[in-house]
Amino acid sequence: MTETSADEFDPAASSLAGKISDDVMQELLAVRSSIDNIDATLVYLLAERFKATQRVGYLKAEHDLPPADPGREVAQIARLRRLAEDAHLDPAFAEKFLNFIISEVIRHHQAISDNHNGGNSNAAGL
Ligand SMILES: C=C(O[C@@H]1C=C(C(=O)O)C=C[C@H]1O)C(=O)O
């Protein structure tokens, strides 16, 4: 298997080392192991999402459609807020998080569109 920077990750890295009891440290490390798995999953999920939105970006550029679709965003945000409530996640946080991702996607779509139209704007590194 190819080495990646993730191989250098030290799951026991902590500013608390030597300052708390071994028992507490063991419990902390056990919970952090789940946090590490969740974080890895988030990265893979986000990578898949950006792969999908990139396809949308090319489709929009080819058909001369605007990078943002505010009507779609309103529907997505309302849905995500409802899902967050059901999951006992702060809906305001869910909305902020989705808006953060969407604004990055729109930046990518703008760059794809600029590129498609022969411009040299490449803000998103695409
Ligand atoms: C991905 C799209 O483009 C933009 C980004 C969105 C997203 O990241 O979910 C949603 C709407 C658009 O503003 C889309 O139109 O579907």
CATH of the domain at 57: 1.20.59.10
Structural domain for 62, as ranges: 20-116
Q: Is 25 in the pocket of ligand 1 (CB under 6 A)?
A: no
Mean pLDDT within 11-34: 97
CB atoms within 10 A of CB 96: 10
Nearest to 43 by CA among 5, 81, 2, 99: 5
Compare 119 and 32 and report the one with higher pLDDT. Answer: 32
* Mutation probe of ligand 1 site: the residue of 49, 64, 73 with most atoms within 8 A of C-beta: 73
Domain membership of residue 78 (yes or no) is: yes
Torsions phi, psi of 124, nearest 5? -90, 5
Instruction: Give the distance (Å) from ligand 1 centre to CA of residue 52.
Output: 10
Residue with tokens 């803000």: 123
Separation between Cα atoms, residue 91 and residue 97, nearest integer Å: 10
What is the tens place of the pLDDT at every residue in 42-76?
Answer: 999 999 999 999 999 999 999 999 999 999 999 99
CB 60 within 8 A of CB 113: yes
Q: What is the pLDDT of residues 76-115, one digit of tens each?
A: 999 999 999 999 999 999 999 999 999 999 999 999 999 9
